[in-house]
Amino acid sequence: MRVGRTTRRPVSLVSASVALVALLATACASTSTSRPVILHPKSPAPDAASSSSSPPTTSATPVPSGVPTTPPSPVNPVAGWSAPLTTLPPGGGFTSVSCLSNTFCIAAGGGANDADALGTAGSGTTVSWDGAAWSEPSVYFPASTGQPSAPVLPAIACTGGPLCVVVDGSGHVSTGDGTDWSSPSPLPSSAALLEGNPADPGAGRPGSRDAAVTCSDPTFCAVVDNTGHAESLVDGKWVDPSSFGTNGVALYEGGLVGITCPTSSMCRAVVGTSVLDWDGGTWSQEPVPWTTSLPAGATGAPQAAAIGCPTTTLCAIVSGSDLWVDEPGQPWTPPEAIDPEGGLDSISCPTATFCMAADEHGSVLQWNGGAWSAPARVVPMATEYTGDPTTVSCSDDTFCMVVNGDGDYATYTGAREQSSNTA
């Protein structure tokens, strides 16, 4: 899963193919927390207030209040989906969500970016979902007057343990269990970047620094950014960074950055218009799937929004309205136009027969193993943090959550869960 920026992909409507894809679901694990909760506006009040646990490592910094929230605009009911609700956004809007189950998700956001409705540089924060309410914000990156130290477009990935990693475009990383966080520290490749780079357009500008993270298991996580570097976290230690900033990979491109690693020896990433491969030791650039599918006379290429590989032999990319699939022994398929609305932001595929994709309009599309559904709006389009994406995370085929930049969210309860509730 990856998070967004204001640059949007062009809509491309082409012939459909019937292959399926998957996104590595960056699910977050954590033990239950006793923190005070913040209820969404339509939630019933809890029976009793829960007691506070120890504060997170960086929680001494006040959390910015952000934009005052109100119940989101209504949308038409969609089978399997709750009505949209609203949680309290951090200071810079939500930019990533990750779910382990129907009782635990983490949303990350805050900091400084062009999607910040207040134009501030606040703290980077996370909030945890327990199935009924959201926790108080947990600060992983305190606000600072220094530059360029504010978090930019944070992305979160969690795996068993629990081990959670938050990265952002400032070149910093924090690790924790989803509630308690280490102090943010520069990635190994970031020292020079933090001193300034003449090619960097700067935070909040098109093509500014961006990063994505994924974890294949508790012993391996990987980070990729649009500065030409990739990092690996192996057994709790960051190894020497790899460089891919040559061989035609355009740096500081607008659009999104995405990465997925089915195993510690196989990763794929998208950086702007480039697709990159990791073999456990080095990164290489592969031919992109849209090179041969651009219309005659067209210039440029799609900017990928997200990539997912549930296995080492099955991968997919979404961009605009389109989907590309890489199956065993086959080249990338021609683009399949699955979303006439366009603006695909993310896709989550916990199994080969169940996927959920989300677009910037707040609509979702579901794969049932044979075909994609039409887009159905489950949350309104963001009106305050319009540059942040609408992100989706599915823990399995019975639960998904969709969150937009404003903090409007909805949950999906799948067929198996529905049948168990009525049994």
43 domain-assigned = no
Q: Which two tokens stand for residue 216?
A: 């294949």
Range with lowest mean pLDDT among 167-171, 202-206, 399-403 = 202-206
Q: What is the CA radius of gyration of the chain?
A: 20
pLDDT at 118: 59
Report whether 30 contacts 177 (CB < 8 A): yes
Q: Which two tokens stand for residue 219?
A: 């012993």
What is the tens place of the pLDDT at every residue in 95-139? 888 888 898 888 898 876 656 665 666 788 899 888 999 988 888
Mean pLDDT, residues 69-98: 83
More confident residue, 90 or 299: 90
Range with lowest mean pLDDT among 70-79, 131-140, 344-353, 364-373 = 70-79
- The tally of domains found in the chain comes to 1
More confident residue, 8 or 403: 403
242 domain-assigned = yes
Q: Which two tokens stand for residue 315?
A: 């991968």
- What string of DSSP letters covers 188-245? TT-HHHHT--TT---TTSTT---EEEEEEETTEEEEEETTSEEEEEETTEEPPPEE--
What percent of the chain shows pLDDT beyond 90? Answer: 16
Residue 38 has pLDDT above 70, yes or no: no
Residue 192 has pLDDT above 70, yes or no: no
Report whether 250 contacts 276 (CB < 8 A): no
Mean pLDDT, residues 336-356: 87
Please tell me the distance from the alpha carbon of residue 262 to that of residue 159, in angstroms, as a whole number. Answer: 12
Mean pLDDT, residues 260-289: 85
252 domain-assigned = yes
Mean pLDDT, residues 173-192: 82
pLDDT band at residue 376, thresholds of 50, 70 and 90? Answer: very high
| Cα 94–chain centre separation | 10
362 domain-assigned = yes
Report whether 23 contacts 260 (CB < 8 A): yes
pLDDT band at residue 368, thresholds of 50, 70 and 90? Answer: confident
Provide the phi-psi class of 240: left if phi over 0, else alpha when psi is between -120 and 50, else beta: beta
6 domain-assigned = no
Burial of 79 (0-12, 13-18, 19+ CB in 10 A): exposed
pLDDT at 416: 58
User: Which range has highest mean pLDDT (207-211, 291-295, 414-418)?
Assistant: 207-211
Mean pLDDT, residues 343-357: 85
DSSP E strands: which ranges in 255-407?
257-263, 266-271, 274-278, 283-286, 306-311, 314-319, 322-326, 336-337, 344-351, 354-359, 363-367, 376-377, 391-396, 399-403
SS3 content of the chain, % helix, strand, coil (to 5): 5, 35, 60
Please give the residue range of the domain that contains residue 353. Answer: 57-65+73-190+206-293+300-422
What is the tens place of the pLDDT at every residue in 318-330? 888 998 888 877 8
pLDDT at 198: 57
9 domain-assigned = no
More confident residue, 124 or 81: 81
Q: How far is CA 383 from CA 47, 71, 116, 148, in A?
A: 33, 12, 11, 27
Question: 407: which residues sit within 8 A by CB, 6+ positions away?
Answer: 69, 86, 87, 88, 89, 93, 94, 107
212 domain-assigned = yes
pLDDT at 381: 93
User: Which range has highest mean pLDDT (70-79, 112-121, 404-413)?
Assistant: 404-413
The CATH number of residue 385's host domain is: 2.130.10.10
pLDDT at 244: 73
pLDDT band at residue 221, thresholds of 50, 70 and 90? Answer: very high
Please tell me the distance from the alpha carbon of residue 375 to that of residue 78, in angstroms, as a whole number. Answer: 11
8 domain-assigned = no
Instruction: Indicate the average pLDDT of the chain.
Output: 73
Mean pLDDT, residues 409-417: 81
pLDDT at 340: 93
What percent of the chain shows pLDDT beyond 70? Answer: 67
pLDDT at 67: 42
Range with lowest mean pLDDT among 4-8, 242-246, 344-348 = 4-8
pLDDT at 301: 63
